[in-house]
């Protein structure tokens, strides 16, 4: 899918950021009722109707002694517009929405085959690669003419290891194998195939299964967890803020109760369908044949058997059969190369699909039977492409924690960041002990001129590619990180305090921080909104050195 770019879009420049509080359930009373449940049980709910000022000493005690969980029973959602490089730093603070490392993520191949990996395994493969135990040491077996025997030797780590002379080749090869088993060669490789993984996700309107590409796998630090158990035996171990899909929409895990339902992987009867009329099938076949030259490479792989074939031995196959979903019959993304035997066999079954019915993958309700605290451990999260930012965690539909404007699905607007005179430009001192100082007037003018010129050139190149029919997801590659983007960020007070402790400078901070100014601007605006909602908690945060509990 491509765009026709607008003719009247001209670059504009900003030096500020936008932060708006769009919704919240956050007050000091939320901290008090959560803290008192351990001593008075359900009577703690009475705190919601009392003046929190009467109990500010308790809030200060919780902050001072770092009892963190009472500060998690609230929620704030911010709309943020800032340069892209700010969001790349922001992603490191996705502290509220996390799941345990042993959670199994459902992956889906292009052909619809499912497999599962734990999110901890995905994180290791994504960032560290896989262990390759295939020997990469040189050497082996050669014939020693003067001795009249087979010589075994291995070169490893720059050193030749002589293993001896043997009467026959088999004995010499056995000596090499034994040496390599005793001295295994292990190396880490990051496989590109791992970066192409897709997860099973669900259309939040029809509840039907879809695929979404993984964008990133994040390790989010040690966090307190709860364990949600359902009637079918599924369990989800996550933080209280992680969003879970329910029949009523998205809800925080900490807001769920026994008897509520979550949406989980399931099936539903396939709707009855008529056979595709022959005339319509012929028309679809003609259109598909017209795409063949463009969509199939000279040598390409069959998506069904995985073998490579020349183009003349391949046809375009509808991955989701025409009889299975007629709306995708003219969707290029639903077309993939298939060899003649595979395509013939699949096509023969396609018309019968409508007659035999069967099941379709669909999200279905699963009732919660238990919710309990589950200790603290390392947590992880995924970021997946839209439009449906969700995935299956142990069979339960959960949300990824980061929703940013997508350059894949819309034309990006030409708004760029240029710092104003208040931004200090010059770094002095060595790493770890540097500071920023004011720039000269000449430096200010140079920064503004060079940035604006490069932004205009980059956006013009972006527009040229769109006008030439290049896909948005490809054309966006030329755009710089100074481009403004927007996102929604949801957090609780505890996670916000962690963020502020690291990304803002303050005279009351016990631990010094040296944030980049642009993300500090975002933090300052978030802090101002939070201070109005929870003034007693905010005062305790400052009084205790701005260290999150």
How far apart are the C-alpha atoms of 530 and 195, rounded to whole Å? 38
Cα dist. 97→315, 338, 492, 515 in Å?
A: 44, 41, 10, 23
pLDDT of residue 371: 95
User: Residue 182: phi, psi to the nearest 5?
Assistant: -75, -25
Q: Which of 143, 144, 14, 154 is nearest to 83 (CA)?
A: 14
Which amino acids are annotated catalytic? Answer: 503
DSSP state string for 109-128:
-TT--EEEEEHHHHHHHHHH
Dihedrals phi, psi of 79, to nearest 5 degrees: -95, 130
Q: Which residues pair with 88 in a beta bridge?
A: none
Supply the pLDDT for residue 276.
Answer: 65
- Confidence (pLDDT) at 345: 78
Sequential DSSP letters for 370-429: EEEEEEEEEEEEEEE-SSS-EEEETTEEEE-S-EE--TTTSPPP-EEE---TTS--EEES
Q: Tokens 């010589």 sit at which residue? A: 151
* 500 CB neighbour count, 10 Å cutoff: 24
What letter would DSSP give residue 2?
A: B
Question: Which pLDDT tens digits describe the chain residue by residue (549 residues)?
Answer: 445 555 557 899 999 999 999 988 899 998 988 888 766 666 656 666 778 888 889 999 999 998 888 898 888 889 999 999 998 777 655 444 578 999 999 999 877 889 999 999 998 888 776 555 444 445 678 888 888 898 988 887 678 888 899 888 878 888 887 787 777 665 545 555 567 789 999 998 889 999 988 888 877 777 789 999 999 999 999 988 788 999 998 888 888 999 999 999 999 876 544 456 777 878 888 899 889 899 999 999 998 888 889 998 999 998 888 777 778 889 899 999 999 888 887 776 665 444 445 678 999 999 999 999 998 888 888 888 777 889 999 999 998 755 566 676 678 899 999 999 999 999 888 766 778 899 899 999 999 999 999 999 999 999 999 999 998 888 999 999 999 998 888 788 988 998 899 899 999 999 888 889 999 999 999 999 999 999 999 999 999 999 988
- In eight-state DSSP terms, residue 413 is P
CB 175 within 8 A of CB 140: no
Omega within 30 of 0 (cis) for the link into 296? no
The Cα 220–Cα 95 span in angstroms is 6
Q: What angle do CA 499, 502, 504 make, to 5 degrees?
A: 90
- Tokens coding 256: 């769920």
Please tell me the predicted confidence (pLDDT) of residue 268.
84
Please report the sign of the dihedral spanned by the C-alpha atoms of residue 317, residue 320, residue 324, residue 327.
negative
Q: How far is CA 241 from the centre of its chain?
A: 17
Of 338, 402, 404, 482, nearest in space to 11 by CA: 482
- Are the beta carbons of 300 and 309 closer than 8 angstroms? yes
Query: Which domains, ranges and CATH numbers included, belong to the chain?
Result: 12-96+411-543 (3.30.1360.170), 99-125+197-269+361-401 (2.170.16.10), 134-185 (1.20.5), 278-357 (1.10.30)
d(CA 489, CA 82): 12
Residue 386: closest CA among 362, 402, 365 = 402
Task: State pTM to two decimals.
Answer: 0.55
Structure token pair of residue 422: 């208040």
């Amino acid at each position: 899918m491509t765009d026709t770019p607008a003719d009247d879009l001209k670059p504009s420049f900003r030096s500020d950021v936008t932060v708006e509080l769009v919704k919240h359930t956050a007050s000091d009373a939320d901290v008090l009722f959560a803290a008192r449940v351990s001593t008075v049980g359900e009577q703690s709910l009475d705190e919601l109707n009392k003046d929190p000022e009467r109990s500010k000493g308790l809030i200060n005690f919780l902050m001072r002694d770092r009892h963190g969980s009472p500060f998690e029973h609230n929620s704030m959602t911010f709309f943020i517009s800032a340069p892209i490089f700010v969001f790349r730093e922001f992603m490191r603070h996705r502290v509220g929405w996390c799941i345990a490392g042993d959670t199994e993520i459902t992956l889906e191949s292009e052909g619809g085959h499912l497999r599962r990996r734990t999110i901890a395994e995905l994180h290791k493969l994504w960032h560290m690669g896989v262990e390759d135990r295939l020997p990469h040491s040189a050497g082996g077996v050669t014939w020693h003419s003067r001795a009249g025997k087979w010589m075994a030797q291995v070169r490893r780590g720059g050193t030749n290891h002589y293993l001896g002379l043997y009467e026959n080749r088999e004995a010499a090869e056995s000596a090499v194998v034994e040496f390599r088993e005793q001295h295994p060669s292990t190396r880490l490789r990051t496989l590109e195939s791992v970066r192409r993984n897709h997860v099973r996700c669900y259309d939040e309107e029809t509840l039907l299964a879809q695929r979404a590409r993984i964008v990133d796998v994040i390790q989010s630090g040690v966090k307190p967890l709860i364990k949600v158990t359902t009637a079918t035996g599924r369990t989800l171990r996550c933080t209280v803020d992680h969003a879970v899909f329910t029949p009523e929409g998205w809800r925080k895990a900490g807001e769920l109760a026994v008897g509520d339902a979550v949406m989980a992987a399931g099936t539903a009867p396939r709707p009855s369908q008529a056979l595709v009329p022959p005339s319509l099938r012929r028309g679809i076949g003609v259109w598909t044949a017209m795409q063949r030259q463009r969509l199939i490479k000279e040598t390409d792989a069959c998506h069904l058997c995985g073998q490579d074939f020349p183009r003349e031995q391949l046809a375009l196959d509808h991955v989701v059969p025409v009889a299975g979903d007629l709306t995708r019959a003219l969707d290029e993304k639903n077309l993939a190369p298939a060899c003649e035997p595979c395509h013939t066999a699949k096509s023969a079954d396609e018309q019968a699909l409508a007659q035999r019915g069967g099941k379709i993958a669909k999200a279905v309700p699963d009732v919660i039977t238990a919710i309990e605290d589950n200790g603290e451990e390392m947590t992880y999260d995924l970021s997946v492409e839209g439009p449906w930012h969700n995935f299956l965690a142990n069979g339960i539909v959960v949300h990824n924690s980061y929703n940013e404007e997508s350059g894949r699905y819309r034309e990006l607007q030409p708004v760029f960041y240029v710092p104003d005179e208040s931004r200090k430009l010059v770094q002095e001192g060595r790493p770890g002990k540097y500071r920023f100082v004011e720039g000269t007037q000449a430096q200010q003018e140079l920064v503004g001129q060079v940035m604006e010129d490069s932004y205009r050139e980059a956006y013009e190149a972006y527009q040229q590619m769109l006008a030439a029919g290049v896909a948005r997801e490809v054309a966006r590659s030329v755009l710089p990180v100074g481009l403004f983007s927007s996102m929604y960020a949801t957090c609780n007070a505890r996670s916000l305090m962690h963020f502020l402790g690291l990304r803002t400078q303050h005279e009351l901070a016990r631990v010094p921080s040296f944030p980049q100014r642009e993300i500090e601007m975002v933090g300052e605006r978030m802090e101002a909104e939070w201070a109005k909602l929870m003034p007693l908690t905010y005062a305790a945060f400052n009084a205790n050195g701005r260290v999150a509990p």
